[in-house]
Chain A
Amino acid sequence: MVDNDTALMAHLMRRAGFGAPYEALQAWAAKGYEAAVEELLHPETQPDGIEMDVMERYFIEWRELLAGGTAYWTWRMMNSQRPLEEKIALFWHGILCTGHSKCENPRQQLVEFDMFRRLGLGSFRDILLEISRDPAMVFYLDNCMSHKDAINENYGRELLELFSMGVGMDGHPNYTEDDVKACASAFTGWTITNAVPRYPYGRYASHFIYNAADHDDSEKTFLGETGRFNGEDIIDIIVKQPATARFISRHLYNFFVADDVQVPAWQDTPPRDPEAIKMLEEAYFQSNYEIRAMLRVLFNADFFKQARFAKVKSPVESVVGTMRLVGDFTTPKPGLPAIVAEMRYMGQDLANPPTVEGWHTGKEWIDSGTLVERINFTADQVGNVNLPGIRAIIDRLGAEGSTLSAERLVQGCLEMLGHYELPEDTTSMLVAHVRKEGELRTGTEDFDQRVGQMLQLIVATQEYLFA
Chain B
Amino acid sequence: MMTDNQKDNVLVVLQLSGGNDALNTIVPYTNPLYMDNRPAVRIDPKQVLPINDAIGFNPAMAPLQELWDEGNMAIIQGIGYPHPNRSHFRSMDIWHTCEPDKVGEEGWLGRALRDLDPKKENVLTGVNFGRGLPRALAAPGVPVASVGDLETYGVLTGIEGADQRSEALEMFSKMYAPLIGRNLVKEYISQTGSDALSGADILSTAPQKYTSTVTYGSDPVAQYMRNIAQVHLAELGTRILYTTAPYNSFDTHASELGTHIRLWGEVSNAVSCFFQDLKEHHASDNVVLFMFTEFGRRVHDNGSGTDHGSGGIAFVIGDAVQGGLYGEYPSLAADQLLEGDLHYNNDFRGTYATLLERWMGLDAKPIVGGSFEQLDFIS
What is the interface of chain A, defined by CB distance below 8 A to chain B? 99, 101-102, 198-200, 259, 312, 341, 344-347, 352, 354-357, 360, 362-364, 366-373, 375-376, 379-380, 383, 425-426, 429-430, 433, 453, 456-457, 460-462, 465
Contact = CB atoms under 8 A, between A and B. Distances in A.
Interface of B: 87-90, 93, 103, 105, 123, 128, 131-133, 135, 138, 140, 143-146, 148, 154-159, 164, 167-168, 171-172, 174-176, 185-186, 188-190, 192-193, 195-196, 199-200, 253-254, 302-305, 307
Contacts of B105: 360
Contacts of B103: 354-357
Contacts of B138: 367
Contacts of A101: 87-90
B193 A462 contact: yes
Nearest to A353: B89
Given A376-B158, A379-B156, A462-B176, A368 B253 contact: no
A371 B192 contact: yes
Contact of A369 (B132, B164, B174): B132
B132 A345 contact: yes
Contact of A366 (B132, B158, B171, B192): B192
20 contacts: A101-B88, A199-B253, A199-B254, A199-B304, A344-B132, A357-B103, A368-B146, A369-B133, A369-B196, A371-B189, A371-B192, A373-B131, A376-B156, A379-B156, A453-B159, A456-B158, A460-B155, A460-B172, A461-B175, A462-B186
Contact of A372 (B175, B190, B196): B196
The 4 closest A-B pairs by CB, nearest first: A369-B146, A101-B89, A380-B158, A355-B103
A371 B193 contact: yes
A368 B199 contact: yes
B103 to A, nearest CB: 4
Nearest to A462: B189
Contacts, number: 126
Contacts of A352: 89
Contact of B157 (A200, A341, A376, A465): A376
A456 B131 contact: no
Contacts of B146: 368-370, 372-373
Contacts of A355: 93, 103
Contacts of B164: 453
B132 A347 contact: yes
A366 B188 contact: yes
A429 B303 contact: no
B17 to A, nearest CB: 12
Contact of A354 (B135, B145, B157, B189): B135
A345 B192 contact: no
Contacts of A370: 132-133, 146
A363 B182 CA distance: 15
B143 A367 contact: yes
A386 to B, nearest CB: 14
A76 B123 CA distance: 39
Nearest to B168: A457
A199 B255 CA distance: 12
A383 B89 contact: no
A368 B192 contact: yes
A366 B156 CA distance: 16
A363 B171 contact: no
Given A101-B89, A433-B171, A460-B155, 11 more contacts: A200-B302, A354-B135, A363-B188, A367-B192, A368-B145, A370-B132, A370-B146, A373-B146, A429-B171, A453-B168, A460-B156
Contacts of A380: 158
A379 B159 contact: yes
A383 B159 contact: yes
Contact of B303 (A200, A426, A433): A200
Nearest to A373: B131
